[in-house]
Amino acid sequence: MSRLSCVTSGPDDTRSLGEAVAAQLRPGDVVSLSGELGAGKTCFVQGAARGLGVTARVTSPTFTLVRPYDGDIGVVHVDVYRLNQLHEFEDLGDEVLDPERVTFVEWGDAVARLLPPDRLEVELRWLEHDAQREVSFRCHGSWGARASSLTGSLAPWLQVEA
């Protein structure tokens, strides 16, 4: 498992980072997002969805829990913040881990045990300087073999490779 760390300087830059990551995504991929409220999880998904050809407005699924989007590659955007127990994630249905779409799970760390072993974990956190965020990536399973190509996509934002 490798870790990559980037810095973005605002919501638009976070969207651009998400769009760059989209070049590495394929149907069936799962991206788990974590970080405090307002750290940019939805901004990241908005950019990634744009990079996957989604033209609809991508909004937070906090109250609806699951939002599917059509694009060149379809997207499923899930928010598990309001779930109280792990089994509630399973109750969301087969649509959540659709092998024909890329699934983004906000607060994915809360349901990590239920996510596939092949996944990309993205953690966003505020930095002290203005609107900057640190965006860290952890590659699990088959993502380990894709880490070098992911690194290329992240190059403009890459800060530390560990």
Cα–Cα dist 10/40, whole Å = 9
In this predicted structure, what is the pLDDT of residue 86? 67
Q: What is the pLDDT of residues 23-39, one digit of tens each?
A: 999 999 999 999 999 89
pLDDT in tens, 115-161: 999 999 999 999 987 789 999 999 999 999 999 999 999 999 998 54
The pairing of beta strand 3-9 with beta strand 101-106:
unpaired
Q: Domain 3-161 belongs to what architecture?
A: 3-Layer(aba) Sandwich (3.40)
Domain boundary assignment for the chain: 3-161
C-alpha triplet 47, 138, 22: angle, nearest 5°: 25
pTM of the predicted model as reported, rounded to 2 decimal places = 0.93
Would you put residue 107 in left (φ > 0), alpha (ψ -120 to 50) or beta? left
The CA distance from 103 to 33, in Å, is 11
Residue 9 burial by Cβ neighbours in a 10 Å radius (0-12, 13-18, 19+): middle
Residue whose entry in the numeric block shows the structure tokens 């069936």: 28
Q: Rounded to whole angstroms, what are the CA distances from 65 to 4, 32, 118, 123? A: 28, 14, 22, 20
